[in-house]
Structure 1
């Protein structure tokens, strides 16, 4: 008798409406989306916010970005198209990867590697320690009742996987019991260096956590960088900058 794998309960399914293709795990919860005519576009607002690390870092071809949770491949497609960085994705369910290859135009390029592995194991791999300028963490199962990896030890592993200067973005549910303990564990793992973006998209709230020299960015500096990000990446970065300034003060320190 074959032993059941933990991901087998999360059978990926599809839906499509108005030119947008959605990934589900057999429930109504959306796990990712792709505009069929523009596959590299970030359809969901929270996935755009997951790229908010661009407000503080500019990727080069020598940099690596890590994605924890493939979903519909939105962040992978976008990062490969709009940045020169290499991308490594960890996804524990190979059926999700197969679905993305068949229906979500998963790029086939040497710049992209997908590792079928538990995210908590992946961040602890020796070769991943100190490697990534950015980590984008979006780890939900079919129940979508908070991230499936959310312990202090997990977020400490994320901290260690970042390069000397790096940023983690995490998709959380703001109006959910999972939010306070996740935020607390992220704060502890990142020594309190955390910024929060406003809640959007049916409760999604993206948190940014920083590693490296102390951040000290003035209003003018942040808005200038936001304008540059909007021009280069087509993302609503000025809106993010204003939200951060409104929440955290006229000077962003972390």
Structure 2
């Protein structure tokens, strides 16, 4: 294992073990990872779950996907390789972007833009209203003690930044005091349309919030979509779908 000397809080540092490079913000907490030989692979289970919106939407060339919090660029690299959509990232710290360019193969493409701005200010921009098909929100600092942006107004702005039909995923910690208040505020902003993916070993709990007409589909249709996502994107989507179905009444249909 190799590791850079620890730096002050929020200063990006990195370590490497068994072919995987990790990003830290001046602490032992992992803020992102990249398998050096397969950089587009989503190494961490929670980053795979952050793509859970694919169960409900298939991105197209005309769509724009938004990322709040660059981390090690994992979601950006994956989306850049697997979709043809436009990609816009809000990252407040230019040093994070710089280390991603130097060590984490940040995509350099006309389809990808990184804005250096506080996520709460960025998502509230008038030009971002209705702009995004999907938003992936992963906002943590060096202490990783709950999201650094989690107010009701922030989640309301996320709702307004989505297209008429859109999905947001948020990385939370299931056993942390911040979890219930975030679930409540996301629910308030999205009219209660919030579902939870299964908690992973590290304690991350990804939630999905939906905007648009109520989705009422047969169990078979949802599982068919999950199998398609699994085949095309290499993600454990069938497991996700079964977890979501377990949260609904067993009627042969599922409503989200």
Fold match by TM threshold 0.5: yes
Structure 1 position 108, deviation (Å): 0.4
Distance in 2 (alpha carbons) for counterparts of 1:76 and 1:136: 10
Cα RMSD after superposing both structures = 0.9
Classify the secondary structure of the residue corresponding to 1:248. Answer: coil
Distance in 1 (alpha carbons) for counterparts of 2:201 and 2:37: 22
Distance in 1 (alpha carbons) for counterparts of 2:249 and 2:93: 41
Is there any run of 5+ residues in structure 2 with no aligned partner, and where? 1-7
Distance in 2 (alpha carbons) for counterparts of 1:27 and 1:246: 37
Q: 2:53 aligned with 1:53, yes or no?
A: yes
Q: 2:107 aligned with 1:100, yes or no?
A: no
The aligned residue for residue 13 of structure 2 is 13
Distance in 2 (alpha carbons) for counterparts of 1:9 and 1:227: 42
Structure 1 position 205, deviation (Å): 0.3
Distance in 2 (alpha carbons) for counterparts of 1:41 and 1:248: 31
**Stretches of 4+ moved more than 6 A in 1?**
none
The aligned residue for residue 4 of structure 1 is none
The aligned residue for residue 110 of structure 1 is 110
Classify the secondary structure of the residue corresponding to 1:31. Answer: strand
The aligned residue for residue 247 of structure 1 is 247
Contact 1:46 1:201 (8 Å CA) reproduced? no
The aligned residue for residue 5 of structure 1 is none
Contact 1:130 1:160 (8 Å CA) reproduced? yes
Structure 1 position 9, deviation (Å): 3.9
Deviation sequence 1:198-223 (CA, Å, 0-9, x none): 10041000000000111112210110
The aligned residue for residue 26 of structure 1 is 26
Contact 1:67 1:88 (8 Å CA) reproduced? yes
Q: How many residues are treated as equivalent by the alignment? A: 247
Distance in 2 (alpha carbons) for counterparts of 1:249 and 1:206: 21
Structure 1 position 27, deviation (Å): 0.7
Classify the secondary structure of the residue corresponding to 1:168. Answer: strand
Deviation sequence 1:169-213 (CA, Å, 0-9, x none): 000000010000000000000000111101004100000000011
The aligned residue for residue 146 of structure 1 is 146
Distance in 1 (alpha carbons) for counterparts of 2:63 and 2:13: 33
The aligned residue for residue 165 of structure 1 is 165
Structure 1 position 127, deviation (Å): 1.0
Distance in 1 (alpha carbons) for counterparts of 2:157 and 2:126: 11
Is there any run of 5+ residues in structure 1 with no aligned partner, and where? 1-7
Distance in 1 (alpha carbons) for counterparts of 2:165 and 2:239: 24
Distance in 2 (alpha carbons) for counterparts of 1:248 and 1:67: 29
- TM-score, structure 2 normalization: 0.95
- TM-score, structure 1 normalization: 0.96
